[in-house]
Amino acid sequence: NGDSPVPIVVVVEGVVQPAAILSADQNLARRNELKARGTLLMALPDKHQLKFNSHKDAKTLMEAIEKRFGGNTETKKVLKILLKQ
């Protein structure tokens, strides 16, 4: 009657293989990772989103964003001095 679950398959190098069933903890971790990555991408301006779309997890995405927009140590020192005034 169509109520049975659809089998989950993965195509690896042209070969169809059944995918492993994830536990609840793994499923929650994956969902949280996708939410974190999505939140980081939404925070970027539209013109920069394509540059960072290649990063597949939130940790490397955040590192790339910090590297790109973080500035160098001299800039950070000047900002810190200005904020103290």
The pLDDT tens digits for 13-34 are 888 877 777 788 888 898 999 9
Contact status, residue 41 vs residue 49, Cβ threshold 8 Å: yes
The pTM of the full predicted model, rounded to 2 decimals, is 0.59
Q: Which helix (DSSP H) or strand (DSSP E) does residue 79 occupy?
A: helix 73-84
In a domain, 18, yes or no: yes
Whole domain around residue 48: which residue ranges? 9-84
What Å distances lie between residue 12 and 5, 6, 17, CA to CA?
A: 22, 19, 7
Residue 78 lies in a domain: yes
Residue % of the chain over a pLDDT of 70: 91
Tell whether 3 is covered by a domain.
no
| Tokens read off for 56 | 């597949």
- C-alpha to C-alpha distances, 18 to 6, 10, 25, 65, nearest whole angstrom: 11, 6, 20, 36
CA distance 83 to 67: 22
* Number of domains, the chain: 1
